[in-house]
Structure 1
Amino acid sequence: MNNQGIGLSGGTIVLILLALLIIVAVFRGIRVVPQSEKFVVERFGRLRSVLSPGLNIIVPFLDRVAHKVSVLERQLPTSRQDAITSDNVLVAVDTSVFYRITEPEKTVYRIKDVDAAITTTVAGIVRSEIGRMELDQVQSNRSQLINAVKTHLADQVDDWGIEVTRAEILDVNLDEATRSAMLQQLNAERARRAHVMEAEGRKRAVELQADADLYAAEQVAKARRLQADAEAYATSVVAEAIGKNGLEAAQYQVALKQVEALTALGQGTGKQTIVVPAAALESFGNAFQMLLKGRNA
C-alpha cells in the first residue's frame, strides 16, 4: 500500500507541474499593452513584432518583450546654439523641440540616444539656416526660421521612426557690444524719423498757408468781379435811360443827388447856418427846377 500511495503521489505531482506549466505559458503568452506604449517583441534576439495597445498574444518561451516604448509626445530640454549670421553677427539661439515615436522598431534598433541625436541635428540645422540670413531677418522672420528647422529636422529623423510635432525658437540673444550698437542704430533711426515728420509737418503747414492765400485771393478777385459787373450793369441802365429819355433824364438824376446832398448837409448837428457859393445856388436852383419838371412829368 505504501508503493501504491507513492505512485499516486508521483502522478499527482506530474499533473500539478503540467498545470503550473500551462498557467505560466498562458501568462507569458498574453501581453496587455497600455494605450500610451508599444512593445517590441524579439525571438532569439531578432525583431519579431510590435505589439499595439490592447490585448496581444505571443509565443511563450520563444518570444519576449525586449523594449517597452512610450508613444507620448516628448519635449527636449531647451538648448542653446551659437550661430553666425550672413552679416557676421554672433547670436545665441534658444530652441525647443517636441516629438513622438511612431515606429518603435526603428527607434530602438537605429539610434541609441534619441534626445542627443535630435539636439545635435537641430543645432546643425539652426546654424545652417541662420548663416543664410541677416540679423534683421533672424529677428523679424522667426516663423520662417521655425518652419525651416521643423521641415529639415523631420526629413532627417524620419529613419529613426520619429515624428517632429513642433519646433520653437524661444529667443535670439546677442552679445553686449552688438546690443549697444543696435541700440545706437535704433536711437538714430528714431531721431531721423522725428526730423522727417517735423519737416513733413512744416511742409504741410506751408502748403495749407498757400492754399489759404490762394483762396483769399480768389475771393477778392471774385468780389471785384462782382463789383465790376454791378458797375457795368448800372452804367448800362443809365445809358439805356439816356437813350430812351434823352439828356434830361441824366440831368434829373444829377439834380436829385445834389438835393439829397444838400439835405444831408443841413441835417448835421451844430450846423445851423450854411454858406453856399452863388454858383452852387444857381446849380441848386436848376436842380429844383428839374425836380419840379420831373414830378410834373
Structure 2
Amino acid sequence: MGDGQIAAIVLIVLLVMLSFMTIKIVPQSEKFVVERLGKLHAVLGPGLNIIMPLIDSVKHRISILERQLPSIEQDAISKDNVLIKASIVVFYRIVSPENTVYRISNIDQAVATTVAGIVRSELGKIDLDEMQSNRAPLNASIKIQLADATDDWGIEVTRAEVLDINLDAKTMDAMLQQLNAERARRAAVAKAEGEKRAMELKAEGELFTAQRVAEAKRIQADADAYATTTVAAAIRENGMEAIQFEIAKRQIEAIGHMASSNGTRTIILPTDLADAFGAAAKMFGRKPS
C-alpha cells in the first residue's frame, strides 16, 4: 500500500470523525447544552443539529421528562399548636437547561429544601382540622410559592401536594377521645330531638282528636237546637196538637225498639195513639186514613 493510499484512508477517517463531531442528533426527551471554548454557546433541541467540531462540545445532556422527587417528610406546628409530620410529593420538569446547569449544582436537593421551608411556613398558618378537611388551598399555595422560588433554576413545578398528615401518639389519643365525646354528644342531641318530635306529634294528634270531637258536639248541638226550634215553632203555631204529635212519634220509636228486641213477645199500644196521629194529620191539613 502506497503513501497515497494511506493518506487517503487517514483523510477519510478524519472526515468521518469530523462528521460525528459536527452532527448531533438529540432525542425527543432530551436537550444538549453546548459550550464553545468553555462558554455556554447553545442549547440543542430534539432532532438533527450541527456544531463546530473541535470548538464546540456537548457538555451536558439534560432530560426534559417530568421528574418526581422522593417523598419529603417535614415536621411542622399548626396554627392551633399541634405537632405534625407532613408527607409531601413534588413533580417538576426542566424547561431551561442552561439555568439548571449553571445556576444550581443539585437541583433535586435544592427543590426538596425549598419545599420543606415553604410547607413548614404554610402549615403554621392553618389549623389541624382545616389541613385534614380541605387541602386544596394549601396545595395551591405551596405550588405557587415553589414556582416563584425555583423560577431562576429553569424548572417548572407541575405538582406539589401534601399527601398525608401524621400526628404523634399523644395527640392522636386526645383527638380520638374528642371524637368519641363529639359522637356521644350528637347521639344525645339526636335522641332528645327525636323524643321532642314524638311528644309534638302526640300533642298534635290529641289536639286534632279534641278538635274533631268538639266539632261533632257542635254539629250535634246545632242539630238539637234546630230540632228544638222546629218543635217550638210547631207548638207555637198548632198548640197541643203539635205536642201530641211529638209524643206519638216518640212512642212509635220506642215501640219499634221494643219490637226489634229478641225477648219481646207482646206489644201493648197506648189507646190514645190513634188520637195523637189524628191530631197530627189535622195539623198538616190531611185527614187520617
Cα 1:48–1:271, aligned 2, differ >3 Å: closer, same or farther? Answer: same
Where do 1:69-84 residues align within 5 Å? 69-84=62-77
Taking structure 1 as reference, are residues 285 and 10 closer, same or farther at Cα in structure 2, changes over 3 Å only?
Answer: closer
Look up the match of 1:278: none
Q: 11, 14, 23: which one pairs with 1:18?
A: 11
**Conserved? CA contact 2:258–2:264, under 8 Å:** no
1:209 is aligned to 2:205: no
**Correspondence 1:45 to 2:31:** no
Identity %: 54
Partner of 2:276: 290
The CA RMSD measured in Å over matched residues stands at: 2.4
Change (3 A) 1:65 1:239: same
Are positions 1:199 and 2:192 aligned together? yes
Counting only pairs closer than 5 Å after superposition, residues 1-297 of structure 1 correspond to structure 2 as 9-258=2-251, 260-261=253-254, 269=263, 284-294=270-280, 296-297=287-288
Q: Deviations over 1:183-241 (max 9, x none)?
A: 00000000000000001001101110110011011101110111011112212322333
Aligned residue pair count: 282
AA at the equivalent of 2:277: L
The alpha-carbon distance between structure 1 residues 31 and 263, as it changes in their structure 2 partners (threshold 3 A), is: closer
Distance 1:192 1:157 in 2: 49
Q: Give the Å deviation of 1:13.
A: 4.1
Q: Secondary structure at the match of 1:35?
A: coil
21-30 or 247-256: bigger deviation: 247-256
8 Å CA contact 2:35, 2:56 repeated in 1: yes
Q: Give the unaligned 5+ runs of structure 1.
A: 275-280
259-268 vs 186-195, which moves further: 259-268
More moved, 253-262 vs 155-164:
253-262
Quickly say closer, same or farther: Cα 1:95–1:246, change in 2 above 3 A.
same
Q: Give SS of 1:119's match.
A: helix
Give the Cα separation in 1 of the matches to 2:248 and 2:264.
26
> What's the offset of the Cα at 1:250?
2.2
Contact kept in structure 1, 2:22 and 2:51, CA below 8 Å: yes
Aligned-partner residue type, residue 177 of structure 1 = K
Aligned position for 1:277: none
Q: Is the 8 A contact 1:153 1:164 kept in 2?
A: yes
Given that 1:256 and 1:287 are in contact with CA atoms closer than 8 Å, whether structure 2 keeps it comes out as no
TM score, norm. by length of structure 1: 0.87
> Bigger shift: 232-241 or 204-213?
232-241
Q: Which of 1 and 2 has greater Rg?
A: 1
Q: Secondary structure at the match of 1:221?
A: helix
Return closer, same or farther for 1:273/1:71 CA change in 2, 3 Å cut-off.
closer
In structure 2, give the amino acid aligned to 1:66. K
- Partner Cα distance (1:43, 1:24) in 2: 18
Q: Which amino acid aligns with 2:181?
A: A
Q: Deviations over 1:54-112 (max 9, x none)?
A: 00000011000000000111111112000011111110011111111111000000000
Q: Please, which moves more after superposition, 251-260 or 126-135?
A: 251-260
Pair 256,106 (structure 1): closer, same or farther in 2 beyond 3 Å: closer
1:263, distance to aligned residue in structure 2 (A): 7.1
Q: Partner of 1:132: helix, strand, or coil?
A: coil
| SS at 1:86 equivalent | coil
User: C-alpha separation between the residues in 1 aligned to 2:4 and 2:121?
Assistant: 75
Gap change, CA 1:208 and 1:20, over 3 Å in 2:
same
Superposed displacement of residue 132, structure 1: 0.6
> TM-score w.r.t. structure 2 length?
0.89
State the partner residue of 2:284.
none
- What is the DSSP-based 3-state SS (H/G/I as helix, E as strand, rest coil) of the residue aligned with 1:115? helix
